[in-house]
Structure 1
């Protein structure tokens, strides 16, 4: 397969081991911020590209079979896993998360990035009266606002977001659209991947405050400004200690999944996935996320 030319590969599944789960994919997602830079060879975290380049990491499916040592799922169960754009997969039991029947595929597919956002928020150890500023209302930014509101119960969540449609989604989650003042916030969370926003966060956080970086550095280099040193700020990255299984117990209970924003602004089918990638690579008007229906034939 040539670089920047999406297509399909046919491969045999590995045999089912005693700790493995055989999953048929029902739905998946295209992560715009993570996958498109790879396809366009613009990901700043990659030093080289090896083809064929496989992408995707958010998969929702039905369990077809399990190894004899598997205990957490059974055939017929719905699960989320991490194998990407495949119509079937054999994965270790440790990499499947059961999904309750009342949770829709779209809601289930947000589990992975929601957990990644939660890890960073939890490491900030915020209290409800903290003033928090979040930059970038893409998927990670919106899920960060959701977790701040529904887990930490932060009352003052302000955002930086130039696109009105995305800012409106954040407002629906309880955030405020602002032009931040200097030294106003106890903490900030960088989700934009843009240096200009990162610099604004450093200006807005009070002396000795903290900035959590959740953007993965694949779009622009993020650098420290003089304000960072003058105010003796702290940089925090996403952390371990909060697993996807633990997050699923929280996210899929008490109707918290029902409060998630409508992040899937476009839909395609598995049979049209290559064409969808090609169209996205040529577009300047990108959706937040793309839902991939594996049961739809066209």
Structure 2
């Protein structure tokens, strides 16, 4: 894809773990001759992702989603293969690359626990070398859109989980990244907070055209936000296409009179079928 934000070729990541032998004698021999087991966290992956897309990355625990996110954001190195993200090799971690991306991993906070969010945003503005006046205008504007402007001067640890996640999203967008990795942004949140965050992300992408890679166990997030669906099973991408195409193709495969499933049920059924084939 010309002008792709993300381009990978045969990108994969393996982990080796020590295979502990049984028995004392074999354990002693293991000091000199060790056997290892290889786990394929990500099998050869070829992707091309353009600007302004929201990619829904779905799979069971251990399917390889977080490994793929960490590779594309440069947190880990691949075993083999190549990747180009925003014109950079991500694991080289060059400053000009890092200022173009943002990574929000589950409940891992980038804000300071004992500080009001506004103070954390000021520190982030210093780190990213942003104009302090414009940075403050931006975080106030984002807070208004997320309906949490009255929480900016309260210590982060005193906020509810939903309000904390909103602050984390503001911090992630403060430097206007071109690529945003969101890992479970609505996990544990109440229905109102989930809807507020989904509405905000949908509007933000339409206006600013960043690319978002979104993982979530809440299928409403994927169904309502994603333009494109990547389904992963045991380290492999087993489906890559539009959400509507996936739903329609699965509906066409169902026998007449068979009970219809909601989106989450269709996803679960598909992944179970893929796992049984492997």
TM-score range, shorter chain: under 0.3
Which has the greater radius of gyration?
2
Greater relative CO, 1 or 2 (CA 8 Å, sep 6+): 2
Structure number having the greater helix percentage: 2
Provide the TM-score with structure 2 as the length reference.
0.27
Provide the TM-score with structure 1 as the length reference.
0.26
